[in-house]
């Protein structure tokens, strides 16, 4: 299959890397020339990857195209392109609805929106998509855990939760910085912090649909240090703030808020 990518940012690099590392048979990948260094690096690393002369060439030479441009650039980029009827299009763009994308890529067949995350480069992590499409899901299966939903609002919720990636790494940096302030060697501080959170995360990889309260209970030994820190963070409203932050991001996803909106901290 001839697969094209319009926009070569972090997510495109992760998806392309995952596809190539998984050695998906018969896949030829054509990248838009934007983000020149990243496109060139991928083409030099993988024989299946080439860089197009421009975005229109990506469309003309592809059967399936993924749109991965920044939301603020989408109208200009897509408006300059000619989409043909037998082309299949998928959007990675977080804050633009399926209906709007479908209008911009007509008469091509719009398959829906997909929300991959950077760990797909290692063939791990979730890939949410709307609407369900077994052919597309089968193509993405080698990259991670595909979750198909019929309600676009649910996809927006998954996109919103992916906004926790940078805050998660900020948490790790805060922990490592605290260790360094205690005189711990920086390499050892980073090693301990990364190994701790990696080990903790492995406990959450067998979902039962029952939430994670049992893991909270398991790790909060009565009168122990975990119970104490959890108690203090709850009292400080940390977890309420996380949920309020997700509400804000979802509002932005659905056009009810902008980047300039903030949480009410009163």
Mean pLDDT calculated for residue range 137-146: 96
Within a domain: 231: no
| 52 and 177 belong to one structural domain | no
Q: Are residues 13 and 118 in the same domain?
A: yes
What is residue 34's predicted lDDT score, i.e. its pLDDT?
81
Instruction: Tell me the pLDDT tens digit for each residue of 40-78.
Output: 999 999 999 999 999 999 999 999 999 999 999 999 999
Confidence grade of residue 35 (pLDDT, cut at 50, 70, 90): confident
Confidence grade of residue 195 (pLDDT, cut at 50, 70, 90): very high
Same domain for 89 and 189? Answer: no
State the alpha helices, DSSP H only, in the chain: 10-21, 36-45, 55-60, 71-79, 98-105, 134-140, 152-161, 165-181, 186-202, 213-219, 225-235, 238-253
Asked if the structure places residue 39 within a domain, the reply is yes
CA 110 to each of CA 19, 28, 30, 45, 89: distance values in angstroms, whole numbers, following the listed order: 21, 20, 19, 30, 5
Q: How many CA atoms lie within 13 A of 227 on its CB side?
A: 7
In a domain, 155, yes or no: no
Whole-angstrom Cα Rg for the chain: 21
Same domain, 146 and 182: no
Domain that holds residue 178: 163-202+236-253
Distance CA 241, CA 237 (A): 6
Whether 11 and 123 share a structural domain: yes
Mean pLDDT on 20-30? 94
The answer as to whether 98 is a domain residue is: yes
Q: Do 49 and 132 share a domain, yes or no?
A: yes
Residue 111 has a pLDDT of: 96
Answer yes or no: are the C-beta atoms of 74 and 67 closer than 8 Å: yes
* Domain containing residue 65: CATH number: 3.40.50.720
Share of the chain above pLDDT 90, in %: 90
Contacts of 52 (CB under 8 A, 6+ apart): 4, 30, 31, 32, 33, 58, 61
Domain shared by 181 and 248, yes or no: yes
pTM metric for this prediction = 0.87
Query: Does 120 share its domain with 77?
Result: yes
Residues 179 and 124 in one domain: no
pLDDT at 208: 76
Last residue of a domain, one of 87, 116, 150: 150
SS percent in the chain: helix, strand, coil, step 5: 55, 15, 35
């Amino acid at each position: 299959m001839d697969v094209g990518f319009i926009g070569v940012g972090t997510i495109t690099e992760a998806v392309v890397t995952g596809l190539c590392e998984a050695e998906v048979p018969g896949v030829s990948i054509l990248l838009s020339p934007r983000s020149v260094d990243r496109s060139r690096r991928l083409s030099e690393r993988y024989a299946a990857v080439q860089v197009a002369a421009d975005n229109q060439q990506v469309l003309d030479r592809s059967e399936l195209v993924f749109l991965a441009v920044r939301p603020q650039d989408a109208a200009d980029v897509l408006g300059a392109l000619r989409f043909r009827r037998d082309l299949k299009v998928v959007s990675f763009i977080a804050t633009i609805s399926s209906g709007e994308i479908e209008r911009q890529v007509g008469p091509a067949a719009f398959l829906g929106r997909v929300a991959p995350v950077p760990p797909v480069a290692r063939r791990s992590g979730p890939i949410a998509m709307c609407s369900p499409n077994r052919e597309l899901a089968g193509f993405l299966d080698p990259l991670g855990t595909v979750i198909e939903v019929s309600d676009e609002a649910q996809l927006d919720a998954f996109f919103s939760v992916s906004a926790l990636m940078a805050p998660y790494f900020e948490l790790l940096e805060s922990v490592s910085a605290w260790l360094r302030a205690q005189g711990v060697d920086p390499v050892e501080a980073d090693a301990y912090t990364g190994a701790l959170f990696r080990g903790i995360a492995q406990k959450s990889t067998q979902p039962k649909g029952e939430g994670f309260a049992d893991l909270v209970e398991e790790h909060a030994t009565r009168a122990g240090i975990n119970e104490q820190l959890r108690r203090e963070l709850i009292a400080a409203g940390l977890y309420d703030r996380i949920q309020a932050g997700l509400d804000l991001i979802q509002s932005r996803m659905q056009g009810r808020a902008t980047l300039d909106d903030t949480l009410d901290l009163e």
